[in-house]
Structure 1
Amino acid sequence: MTPTPSASRPPACPPPPLTTPPEAPPNTDYLDELLRRGKWTLLVLAVCYVYGDVTVARPLKPDPRQDQWLLMASPLPTLAISVLYVALSTYWGPRYMANRGPVTGLRPYMMAYNAFQVVFCAYIFWEAGMGGWFGSYSFVCQRCDYSNNPMAVRMLHAGYWYLVSKFLDFIDTLFFVLNKKTEHISLLHVCHHAMMPVCIWYGIKHHSGGHTTLTFLLNSLVHVVMYLYYMLAAMGPRVRPYLWWKKYLTKLQMVQFSTVIVQNFLVLLVDCNIPSVLLVWTSGVSFLFFFLFTDFYIKEYRRKSKTQASTRRERLSGLRSVMEGAASLSPDLRGLTLTSPAAEVTQLVTVRSRAAL
């Protein structure tokens, strides 16, 4: 047989090039949701500014003791910083990070920041207490002292540092953005952070002591506990099993707002010369945050607990069905019962082993 010349053979077809399917574009629906939250926050912020400028700044005289202090000459710088915060946390920041991975190496900075906030908020709480609430102040009616009395000046400084602390609170949202944990940048979170500096500015500028200072006494105490939680959570998975008390932190915040509302109501029962516009404002803000925190608590804990309980019931029901089916095949399995949830795995292994026999 004459071999066929190699030249007469048809050339082999090259294998098709390996191609990878195109990557799916990242889901950016959350960006629209963040933008919507930012718009609502700016609306609430505008209402706060107008209310403060019309109903607080015009009828009440400013406190002259703080005229030369940073940010206290006008509310506009504080308003501008709050607006910039909303834009960075709900628009510019998330869009910049949309096609990037989470920033690594932030844990030491987060721990240092939270540790500083614990100490700083504890200092404000102590100063507000020593400025009156640990001694001479009345829970029912406490007028503002505009003199240079050392106690009054101490309360004035505590209120100013409390205002500064609200700007430092913005940094925790920055960590959320850099870590791409946008689910934590809720309407409650952004609205609470953005509103507080503007609301506090008018209170400190026009009524820097007395009845309404209970707000920052309680809030500073709550923030000590809150930033302690954040600091422990930043330590990593080995600590998180011990942070079961997170939901009680939300309850503590709700108690804080309830206390302020009750305190403002008690003023109506006595003859007390405290500006009603401030009482309405602090009560309104407390009602708003009480509602938002209650809504958050129900969604985060109550509904999640019900969902987990329902899932567990379905799992147990399915396991019982497996046991009943296996018992119908083997009389030896009819005595098996699911005595406790902790026995799930043991019982399932027993069922499968006996069924195999």
Structure 2
Amino acid sequence: MASAWQSVLRVYQRTVDDGDKRTDPWPLVYSPVPVSLIFLVYLCVVRVGPRLMKHKQPVDLRVVLIIYNFAMVGLSAYMFYEFLVTAWLSSYSLLCQPVDYSSSPLALRMARVCWWFFFSKVVELSDTVFFILRKKNNQVTFLHVYHHGTMIFNWWAGVKYVAGGQSFFIGLVNTFVHIVMYSYYGLAAIGPDMQKYLWWKRYLTSLQLLQFLLFLLHTGYNLFTECDFPDAMNTVVFGYCVTLIILFSRFYYQSYLSKKQK
């Protein structure tokens, strides 16, 4: 038992010691413990929240949702700009870009926007809380919980080990998608009068699927070519994208194609 515990401690120590020394001092980065605790609290909320709300009236969050969603549009737009401009100024390659671990202004600028992107994934766990408080439990699907819960780990690892390089492509595309997505949710939160302008929800799901296909092609290309970017990270992203494509395709079929056939 003692030997097993010592092995766990050695793995943990290696995990925290092998990270990017620039990002280690930043909030939630040095150790996986804080993000793991956030994940456990999140799962508890998903499990217990609907039960606590069962005999209560839905909470009116209209104003909160309008502010939250448009704030997320602003944050996503800021991150999109930072990813795009920093990559441009750094002469990043779209196909193969190693991580610059130096403390140059541009390298640190890219690392900082990677951290903000990771932190935004923590903030986005609020989406689930809002669904539960509004008793929209049908929205708290396996896809929703899986996607939100795993993204915080994916991007914790991204900031911990590869804050920059090829990681910028995921941040760039995803922040653009989130500008569109949170704009939709912000408009929808205004009220029923906006519904006639929100006919493009189906295309939002298509856009989400398209981004995962782009990530799959991007990481797949780097897995089978010589590129000084960790294959382990590309392998994880590749496998993760496969699961998301399957789940989002299933959601798209059930939400649009299956209903149309009926």
TM over 0.5: yes
Task: Tell me what 1:85 maps to.
Answer: 42
Gaps of 5+ in 2: 1-7
Whole-Å separation in 2 of the counterparts to 1:134 and 1:86: 40
* Map of 1:179 onto structure 2: 134
CA contact (8 A) 1:140 1:267 kept: yes
Letter in 1 for 2:228: N
Q: CA deviation at 1:252?
A: 0.6
Alpha-carbon deviations, 1:175-214, whole Å to 9, x = none? 1111111011011001111101111111111111101221
Contact 2:83-2:113 at 8 Å conserved across structures:
yes
**2:228 is aligned with 1:273:** yes
Q: 1:211-248: CA deviations, max 9, x gaps?
A: 12211211111111110000000011110111110011
Structure number with the bigger relative contact order (C-alpha 8 A, sep ≥ 6) is 2
Alignment of 1:7-26 (within 5 A): none
User: Which of 171, 174, 189 is the aligned partner of 2:144?
Assistant: 189
Report the CA distance between 1:265 and its aligned residue.
Answer: 2.0
For the Cα contact (< 8 Å) 2:114–2:168, is it kept in 1?
yes
Q: How does 1:192-203 map to 2 (within 5 A)?
A: 192-203=147-158
CA distance, structure 1, for counterparts of residue 224 and residue 116 of structure 2 = 32
Counterpart of 2:50? 94
Q: Secondary structure at the match of 1:130?
A: helix
Deviations 1:29-75 (A, max 9, x none): xxxxxxxxxxxxxxxxxxxxx9xx79x948x9311012221111201
Number of aligned residue pairs: give it: 252
Given the superposition, is the C-alpha separation of residues 249 and 164 from structure 1 closer, same or farther in structure 2, using an over 3 Å criterion?
Answer: same
Give the alignment partner of residue 122 of structure 1, picking from 61, 77, 83.
77
Please tell me whether residue 103 in structure 1 is matched to residue 103 in structure 2.
Answer: no
Residues 298/81 of structure 1: CA separation in 2 closer, same or farther (3 Å cut)? same
Q: Matched residues in 1 for 2:89 and 2:172: separation? A: 10
AA partner of residue 216 (structure 1): G
Deviation at 1:271, TM superposition (A): 2.2
1:228 pairs with 2:188: no
State the alpha-carbon separation in 2 of the partners of residues 242 and 305 from structure 1.
21
- Name the structure 1 match of 2:30: 73
- Superposition TM-score, scaled by structure 2 size: 0.91
Paired with 2:250 and 2:124, the residues of 1 have a C-alpha distance of 22
Q: Contact (CA 8 Å) 1:83, 1:194: kept in 2 or not?
A: no
Q: Does 1:161 align with 2:116?
A: yes
Q: Which runs of 4+ in 1 moved over 3 A?
A: none
Deviates more, 1:189-198 or 1:258-267: 258-267
- How many angstroms does 1:270 deviate by? 3.4
8 Å CA contact 2:180, 2:204 repeated in 1: yes
Q: Give 1:15-54 correspondences, 5 Å limit.
A: none
Contact 1:71–1:77 (CA under 8 A) maintained in structure 2: yes
Deviations along 1:243-300, one digit per CA (max 9) or x if unpaired, are: 1100111111111111111111222453212111001011111111111111100000
Which 5+ residue runs of structure 1 have no aligned equivalent?
A: 1-49, 308-357
How far off its partner does 1:134 sit? 7.1
Task: Tell me what 2:4 maps to.
Answer: none
1:258 corresponds to 2:219: no
Shift of 1:138: 1.1
Distance 2:207 2:89 in 1: 20
